[in-house]
Amino acid sequence: MVANDRSTDDWKHHAAPFLRVLGVGASVREARIILPLKGSARRVVSGFFDDAEKLVTAITAWRERAHCYVTLNPVNAEMLKHASNRILSNVQAARDADVVRREWLLIDVDPVRPDEMSGACATDSEHVAALKLRNVVSEAIKRELDVEAIELDSGNGGALLYRLADGADSHACKAALLALATRFDTSEAKLDRSVSNASRLTRIPGSVNVKREAAERPPRMARLETIPEHDLPLHLDRLLEWLSLPVHTGSEARGAQSFVIGVGSRNTRLMSVGGTLRRLGFDESALSLTLDAANRAICRPPLDRNEVQEIAASAATYPTRVELNSERREAVVCTVAAVVPAEVRWLWPGYMPLGKLVVVDGDPGLGKSLLALDLAARISRGDVMPNGAQGIAGDVMILSAEDGLADTIRPRLDAARATTERVHVIPAIRVKGEERAPELGIALDLQALERAIAERAARLLIIDPLNAFLGGGLNSNHDQDVRRALGPLARHGGTYWHDCARRAASQQSSRRSSPLPRRWIHWDRRRRPQCVSGREESGRAQRTRACADQEQSRRGSTIAAVPSHDKREPTLARMAWRGREHSRRARDPGRAQQLPATVCR
């Protein structure tokens, strides 16, 4: 439940004045709406506005269920061609290069929350702590520089907006935020040091901060609290000069922390700071300005200014992070003449090659997991495959995030007559002697996964479903993230089977008469061998088809399997293999070879 009053009149009283004083109308701004979906997924829509009233109208339908943002600084008017005074999907977002000038400095104050609550709303006490620190910073700047800010309550913390004097650049803004954070951060609230980019977004007052809701952590409406009577600009050089003065303890510092660098370590420490800032992209002038401020603030006695400038000039010769990465990367060239041709090795001849990623694709409930466990059982006991071909015997590893080990996986394997001593499940990952589950991620825990596979000489790894094991920081909607996770697995000698039902369900064709889903781009690009599950054209039976790679096997042939239920044990599903089917264009389907049905529960 939202803690603030959310009436339409109330929220517009916050949004409209803020957008006008920000400059919407006199210049163009981007409005960006981020709608949280299930899990870490989200939907982003946006548009460009030169009319404040139209922007207010456009976010009316979104303000209570999505994050509503606007760019602080004006962008190029040509951006209106993408979405003029309206909100649309798939609109190109504004970048730093699209900003025509830097007008505002954002000081964003966030409460310190427990790590497990980093993405959740703040408690009332955390919210108050952030607002208290915001007021401390605002009062100090007003007292020392006689400049007032627009004061905002973001719903989770507090924020200050200062109109900037002409000539402000990104390095000066970054240095100012770093110096402010160094002086004013406390154990209860901190200043965000990462909000100095020109295309920075800020939350629109009147919209609701819809971070993850938890007990005693309600979502709140962002509010516009004060607009200064005298719109005086903030000069960053004056701000940095003031911040370079010694930090006082006691009531003035309000809990701020200070330290002093004495004789013998001043040059080394300033050089270390300069090297760090250089890797972040600071040029010599920005380094000189920042290091001079740090020298006067924390060095006792301060170094001579010329000596500080020499340190800045020396640090400026270091490569930036981008330059450093480019120097360390070089192409590895392999001449084709040196490659020894090799035949494809098969786990299931004609259908599942060894050392490849095999994808199973289709709607939920069509038997994909049953199919995987049936094949796992055959491999564990070295039995023939569904088409009569002799498979390879070996151990099987299973990563499952949805099916229970005791009540689903084990009964299905027993029913399929699996040699259970050769089937292994990884329910958790052990870190420093302690188990954590189910947080295993392919990218993060690749080495641990490789060791487990190597120790048991596993021939097949089943990942069901893949989305659950991508790990933090990887987005299943981004092809690059998926490739980064799957690429290392493809370099090893086993076969890897992925259940991608969740993603496939949202990508299938809208033509419900089609018996199979549309080709799915994200997983299918990794390797071509795939299995597709769908309904028969009659719609009466659900059928899973094991499809061979067209370039490595018989073109157009499939093996069909139908899940069913035993009347005596209705809770256990059964898998019946129907035999080989061929493309209608190649052969008459009525004459397809019919093999004896084999079943697994």
Whether residue 593 is contained in a domain is answered as yes
358 and 303 in a common domain = no
394 and 444 in a common domain = yes
Domains contained in the chain, number? 3
Predicted confidence (pLDDT) at residue 157 exceeds the cutoff of 50: yes
Whether residue 443 is contained in a domain is answered as yes
Average the pLDDT over 421-442 and give the result: 72
pLDDT tens profile 46-81: 999 999 999 999 988 888 888 899 999 999 999 999
Whether residue 115 is contained in a domain is answered as no
571 and 482 in a common domain = yes
Whether residue 134 is contained in a domain is answered as no
Rounded Cα–Cα distance for residues 449 and 3 (Å) = 46
517 and 469 in a common domain = yes
Share of the chain above pLDDT 90, in %: 22
DSSP one-letter code for 171? H
Least confident of 339-353, 384-398, 508-522, 562-576: 508-522
Q: How much is the pLDDT for 129?
A: 93
Predicted confidence (pLDDT) at residue 103 exceeds the cutoff of 70: yes
527 and 586 in a common domain = yes
DSSP one-letter code for 353? E
412 and 374 in a common domain = yes
503 and 433 in a common domain = yes
Average the pLDDT over 329-356 and give the result: 83
> What residue spans of 351-444 are helical by DSSP H?
368-381, 410-415
Least confident of 161-165, 262-266, 538-542: 538-542
pLDDT tens profile 252-261: 333 334 456 7
Which span out of 164-168, 413-417, 474-478 was modeled with the highest average pLDDT?
413-417
Predicted confidence (pLDDT) at residue 279 exceeds the cutoff of 90: no
Whether residue 225 is contained in a domain is answered as no
Band (169; pLDDT cuts 50, 70, 90): confident
Residue range(s) defining the domain that contains residue 550: 348-600
Q: Three-state secondary structure along 181-213? A: HHHHCCCCEEECCCCCCCCCEEECCCCEECCEC
Contacts of 288 (CB under 8 A, 6+ apart): 308, 309, 312, 313
Least confident of 58-62, 317-321, 510-514: 510-514
Whether residue 218 is contained in a domain is answered as no
516 and 411 in a common domain = yes
Which span out of 15-24, 345-354, 573-582 was modeled with the highest average pLDDT?
15-24
Whether residue 185 is contained in a domain is answered as no
pLDDT tens profile 535-573: 554 444 444 444 444 443 444 456 666 666 655 555 556
State the CB neighbour count (10 A cutoff) for residue 444: 18
Whether residue 504 is contained in a domain is answered as yes
Domain boundary pick from 188, 210, 232: 210
Average the pLDDT over 215-221 and give the result: 83
Name the CA radius of gyration of the chain, rounded.
31
Under 8 Å between Cβ of 571 and 404 = no
Higher pLDDT, 398 or 119: 398
Domain boundary pick from 164, 186, 210: 210
Domain boundary pick from 294, 328, 362: 328
Under 8 Å between Cβ of 572 and 551 = no
518 and 372 in a common domain = yes
307 and 352 in a common domain = no
Q: Which residue has the tokens 């989200």?
A: 42
301 and 421 in a common domain = no
360 and 318 in a common domain = no
Q: Which CATH number does the domain housing residue 458 bear?
A: 3.40.50.300
